[in-house]
Amino acid sequence: MKIICIGRNYAKHIEELENERPDEPVVFIKPDSAILLKNNPFIIPPFSQDIHYEVEILVKINRIGKHIDRKFAHKYYNEIGLGIDFTARDLQSRLKEKGLPWEKAKAFDGSALIGKFYPKDTFDLDNIKFQLFKNDELVQDGESSHMLWKIDELIAYVSQFFTLKIGDVLFTGTPAGVGRVKANDQLKGLMEGKVMFQIKIK
């Protein structure tokens, strides 16, 4: 399986990082080795002094698809979840300055936290509310209605370039409020009031 991630999908997050608003989705890939094993803490890697959390709505692909029409995209997933795209922001900034790929900053081992999944009919997909708490303080507060590109649009777009396979996970982008983690921080993600994950930073 692969993890397909979307960057710059919330306007306020684009503004907070002073990025240019894209004309089409920004796409990058994480390998399966990026998945943080269940019940494990996130360990800050030695190559970064500035790891950021980015909470995101996740979509689990349930059938094989290529060149998917947007009107059929809803057939390719049954479950919605929540996770974190951990990012080595200092390393990413250096790579961006040189026009180099982001993988070292985005796709390192343990950089993808995948929380619980629920049937998609549990939620109003166009208006999912989700939050991230750090040490019981609200740090990210998002709504799927604020996405520049909605879930079905993303699936249609991504499938032009990559064959989607059963078990693939789509990270749909993060809202504003990203920030640094430190050792002993506790992160908790909620979606429509449901606790989707809890994790300790080491």
pLDDT value of position 59 = 98
For the cut 90, the answer to whether the pLDDT of residue 197 exceeds it is: yes
| Residue pair 82/115 in contact by the 8 Å Cβ criterion | yes
Coil/strand/helix, residue 152: helix
pLDDT value of position 18 = 60
| Residue pair 1/164 in contact by the 8 Å Cβ criterion | no
Total number of domains in the chain:
1
Condensed to tens digits (0 to 9), the pLDDT of residues 156-175 reads: 999 999 999 999 999 999 99
Joined together, the tokens standing for residue 26 give: 């920004």
Cα angle at 12 between 7 and 16, to 5 degrees? 85
DSSP code of residue 71 = G
For the cut 80, the answer to whether the pLDDT of residue 13 exceeds it is: no
pLDDT band at residue 23 using 50, 70 and 90 as cut-offs: confident
We report the CATH number of the domain holding residue 50 as 3.90.850.10
Please name the residue that has the structure tokens 């057939």.
Answer: 75
> What are the CA-CA distances from residue 45 to residues 82, 104, 105, 185 (Å)?
23, 11, 11, 15
| Range(s) of the domain holding residue 122 | 3-200
Closest CA to 86 of 30, 138, 19: 30
- What percent of the chain shows pLDDT beyond 70? 96
Specify which residues 164 forms β-bridges with: 65
